[in-house]
Amino acid sequence: MRSKSKELKLKIYNFVNVFRREYGYSPSIGKIADQFGYSRTTIYKYLIEMDKEGMIVYKGDSIETKELNSENTLLSACQIVGSIPCGEAVTEEEYVEDYVNLPASIFGKGTFYILRATGDSMVDAGICEGDMVVIEQQTVAEVGDIVVALINSNENTLKKYSGINEDNKVVLSYMNEDVYPNEEILVDKLIVQGVAKYVIKNLSGIHKPNY
């Protein structure tokens, strides 16, 4: 096949990205042909050559680019379900504030939910008041994990799981040595509702030094 126009290849590539971002799927050969005023046969030949060159992955019914492909456009549905205290455990009634989609290329694959952090007991772990904490839903945790713990009478809290002490008590540690040095919560039984994986922050309120 005779080599095709590099300019048109780039135009097709960019059009595919724009279309997939807007609609969530690949444009058809007909859509591309109409966009640039070429026949479907011509566009098909371009797509085949672009695929052979590694510029795209053309699967007949889909066109993948480096930016938008089956891996990095895979999304996990996620609920924002209110707040989680980073201080004394309190009873919280769970409610869904909103729904979002998390890209698997960043957050991985799993079942997640998001909680708003309240309080200051986890600042040494990078979790501050108002942060959005991405929790992977699971019922087991390893020592050192930051967990959503359901304790006592349906009270929940976000703490570091520090293992079992000599009295066979579950140790949940505060992570703010300036305010709560060596502070712990000891419980007979730990019920894990999830493990914190990521923190989403709003940086607009952070003080910026003057230079």
Domains by residue range for the chain, with CATH: 6-64 (1.10.10.10), 75-202 (2.10.109.10)
- The chain-wide mean pLDDT, for the chain, equals 85
Reported as a pLDDT band with limits 50, 70 and 90, residue 173 is: very high
Q: What is the arithmetic mean of pLDDT over 81-101? A: 66
Of the candidates 26, 159, 160, 173, the residue annotated as catalytic is 159
Reported as a pLDDT band with limits 50, 70 and 90, residue 93 is: low
Please report the DSSP string for 112-176 in residue order. EEEEEEESSTTGGGT--TTPEEEEE--S---TT-EEEEEETTTEEEEEEEEEE-TTS-EEEE---
Q: Which of 187, 134, 179 is nearest to 163 (CA)?
A: 187
Residue whose tokens read 């809290």: 157
Of the candidates 9, 26, 83, 121, the residue annotated as catalytic is 121
Exposed / middle / buried, residue 180 (Cβ in 10 Å: 0-12, 13-18, 19+): middle
Report the C-alpha gap between 32 and 38 in whole angstroms.
8
Where is average pLDDT lowest: 77-86, 144-153, 202-211? Answer: 202-211
**14-53 burial string, b = 16+ CB within 10 Å, else e?**
ebbeebbeeeeebbebeebbeeeebeeebbbebbebbeee
Reported as a pLDDT band with limits 50, 70 and 90, residue 91 is: very low
Report the C-alpha gap between 154 and 4 in whole angstroms.
66
- pLDDT at residue number 210: 56
Provide the residue type at 108 as one letter.
G
Q: Is 109 a catalytic residue?
A: no
Single pTM value for the model: 0.62
Count of helices and strands (H, E) across the chain:
4, 12
| 15 DSSP assignment | H
Report the C-alpha gap between 75 and 120 in whole angstroms.
31
Q: Is 159 a catalytic residue?
A: yes
